[in-house]
Amino acid sequence: MPAGFQRRVARARIRLHLGRGARLRRRARFQEAESELRRALELAEAHFGPAAIEVIAPLNELGVLYKYAGRFDEAEPVYRRALSLAEETGDQATIATIHHNLGGLDHARGDFETAEPAARAAVAIRTRLRGPDHLEVAADEAALAAILDARGKCDEAEVLIRRALATFERKLGPGDYEVAANLNNLAALLARQGDSAAAEPMYRRALAIKERCLGEEHPEVAVILNNLAVLEHKQGHRAEALQLAERAVRLTAGSLPPSHPTRRACQENHQLVARGPSPKPAGPA
């Protein structure tokens, strides 16, 4: 069989496993997703070598999976290896994507100071490549905004979130997953500034979109449930807050490991709502 044909077949098989892995990860079926992505990586290394461009996508997808599963220490080395290979090829779009992902990883770890330069690099590279009105730029801006919000840079964060949200709504429609994520983040920022009246409908709209896009049992739904519980508790609506917090705990307990920060935040907030003191948000959705 000609070598060129074998390589085309290998690339097709790699894409197949990558697609399966990404779909399983979005459904929070992390163990199955890892099997698919590791198979993609094995095929890429076996057919093209460990330093080939074909290895980058499986490494990056594994990093995304590990981040969502709360396996942060495993995510960083695969991201770093992917970034090193991308820099060798000079693929600026992929470099921007991995900077975006590294910023998101440090954000999830709570290392906001380290996260900011990576997120800014992603925005700068992608804006240069795509122009300011591109969906990928909006995604980078949204990720940077969440980090800036966590660092207390609220004014810049709000500008970026609103700009990204407008781009997603205009290009993807008002019911898209990305719209929900940015509604949640904007609502969280406004709630911390004391504007509960503006935050609550955003949370509820984000919740409805994510339930429709991901299903009512997905752990990402728990993030918004938790944040809405925080808001309701602060407004004195303790019964509703407790109901929301209980559902958030149930969803995360069924899909996330005990050490995952979202699961821990939901458990802590449930306990605080049950006792009375004001809880805190779980983070971006």
C-alpha to C-alpha distance for 184 and 200, rounded to whole angstroms: 10
Q: What are phi and psi of 183, to 5 degrees?
A: -60, -45
pLDDT digits (tens, 9 = 90+) for 66-88: 999 999 999 999 999 999 999 99
* DSSP character at residue 54: G
Question: What single letter denotes the amino acid at residue 188?
Answer: A
State pTM to two decimals.
0.84
pLDDT digits (tens, 9 = 90+) for 93-111: 999 999 999 999 999 999 9
Q: Which two tokens stand for residue 46?
A: 């076996």
Torsion (CA) 190, 191, 195, 197 in degrees, nearest 10:
110
C-alpha to C-alpha distance for 118 and 124, rounded to whole angstroms: 10
* DSSP character at residue 74: H
CB neighbours of 114 closer than 8 A, spacing ≥ 6?
106
CA separation (Å) from 6 to 3, 12, 29, 41, 47?
5, 10, 31, 16, 9
CB neighbours of 188 closer than 8 A, spacing ≥ 6?
149, 199, 227, 281, 284
Q: pLDDT grade, residue 275 (50/70/90)?
A: confident
What domains are defined for the chain? 174-285 (1.25.40.10)
pLDDT digits (tens, 9 = 90+) for 21-71: 999 999 989 999 999 999 999 999 999 999 999 999 999 999 999 999 999
Percent of residues, the chain, with pLDDT higher than 70? 96
Q: pLDDT grade, residue 170 (50/70/90)?
A: very high
* DSSP character at residue 265: H
CA separation (Å) from 33 to 14, 30, 58, 98, 246?
14, 5, 11, 19, 28
State residue 279's pLDDT score: 59
Closest to 244 in 3D by CA, of 195, 214, 211 = 211
